């Protein structure tokens, strides 16, 4: 890496500017056409002069466009914000990059970049990275229970959108008809279970989730027209219902090793004969992505990413052995574990 590349990689201006634009929903406000900084600021609830300066920076980075409409009267100096003081007012419009900040656009990043949502919670955690590295963990380890109501709702929304896009692929990758009862532990508001129960109507489903997400999950099941039991509570304090399929999607990486083994042990103890436990987690086939996620779990303070060998070891400690690896066309791989004896 050259000094110039290091400088670009360590620059915080662009990442934070993009997040502010995402939080203010600037792209959506410009979706119907160009607006002056004054009108845009009024709609966004921001200061006109400060927002214009932000927008000019993002124009320079090719996320938005600007039309310098000077009209009549004295022209504003080139590149200088008018702040509403002169007659000249620039009109800002969507650029190519800015379209990825549209809320409803396919592949939109806006909700992940919203500083007032769960994405902002993750971003702010990295400002404590120095102390975390010195101490071996954050001062206060967090989890979904520690989030504000807004951030927790944002978390469920983000995870739900991802599960809705990946759930059908999981339904296709595994023959779920061989099971009678599937329990999704930590399945959020039920998007993944909805995909499975829709594809396999004879399958009985149970969602195990923290109480804060229960009512939303029930509404989601009703809206999808599927019947599913919802069990609210902390996994480590609940007695899991007997079932022949347990699904833990992006859950074990939220736990340290002892808790991961405990979670798998609870599944093993409730597993019916010939049943399976499915662990859906990212693989380490792309080292940079795997390392980034592991660092994220460190600053959030309650988990870690694991290699295949490490998941196998945790499963073995819980009395399970790996029977197969399933690779859906979208989403994480599914490690299938069965009783070791």
Residue among 89, 90, 91, 87 nearest 73 (CA): 87
The CA distances from residue 210 to 171, 215, 234, 241, 267, in Å, are 24, 10, 6, 16, 17
Catalytic residue among 121, 253, 302, 326: 253
The answer to whether the CB of 187 falls within 8 A of the CB of 195 is no
Other Cβ atoms closer than 10 A to 123: 17
32 vs 35: CA distance, rounded Å: 9
Phi, psi of 146, rounded to the nearest 5 degrees: -90, -5
Segments of the chain assigned E as strands: 35-36, 64-69, 89-94, 181-185, 204-209, 229-232, 243-249, 271-281, 320-326, 333-339
- The Cα–Cα gap between 293 and 109 comes to 17
Known active-site residue 253: yes
On the CB side of 207, CA atoms within 13 Å amount to 30
Which of the residues are catalytic?
Answer: 253
């Amino acid at each position: 890496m050259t000094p110039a590349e290091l400088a670009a990689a360590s620059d915080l201006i662009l990442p934070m500017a993009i997040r502010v634009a995402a939080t203010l929903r600037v792209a959506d406000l410009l979706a119907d056409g160009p607006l002056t900084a004054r009108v845009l600021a009024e709609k966004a609830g921001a200061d006109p002069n400060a927002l214009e300066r932000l927008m000019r920076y993002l124009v320079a980075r090719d996320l938005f466009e600007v039309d310098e409409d000077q009209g009549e009267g004295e022209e504003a100096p080139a590149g200088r914000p008018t702040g509403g003081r002169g007659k000249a007012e620039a009109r800002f419009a969507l650029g190519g990059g800015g379209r990825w900040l549209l809320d409803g656009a396919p592949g939109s990043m806006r909700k992940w970049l919203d500083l007032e949502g769960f994405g902002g919670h993750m971003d702010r955690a990295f400002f404590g990275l120095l102390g975390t590295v010195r101490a071996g963990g954050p001062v206060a380890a967090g989890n979904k229970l520690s989030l504000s109501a807004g951030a927790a709702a944002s978390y469920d929304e983000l995870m739900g959108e991802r599960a809705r896009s990946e759930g059908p692929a999981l339904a296709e990758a595994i023959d779920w008809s061989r099971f009678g009862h599937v329990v999704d532990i930590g399945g959020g508001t039920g998007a993944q279970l909805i995909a499975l129960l829709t594809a396999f109507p004879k399958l009985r489903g149970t969602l195990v989730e923290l109480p804060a997400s229960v009512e939303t999950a029930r509404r989601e099941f009703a809206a999808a027209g599927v019947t599913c039991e919802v069990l609210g509570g902390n996994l480590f304090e609940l007695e899991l219902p007997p079932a022949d399929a347990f699904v833990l999607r992006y859950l074990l990486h939220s736990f340290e090793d002892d808790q991961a083994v405990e979670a798998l042990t609870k599944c093993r103890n409730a597993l019916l004969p010939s049943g399976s436990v499915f662990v859906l987690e990212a693989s380490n086939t792309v080292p940079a992505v795997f390392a980034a996620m592991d660092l994220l779990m460190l600053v959030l303070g309650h988990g870690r990413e694991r290699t295949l060998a490490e998941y196998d070891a945790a499963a073995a400690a819980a009395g399970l052995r790996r029977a197969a690896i399933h690779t859906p066309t979208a989403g994480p791989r599914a490690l299938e574990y069965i009783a070791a004896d």
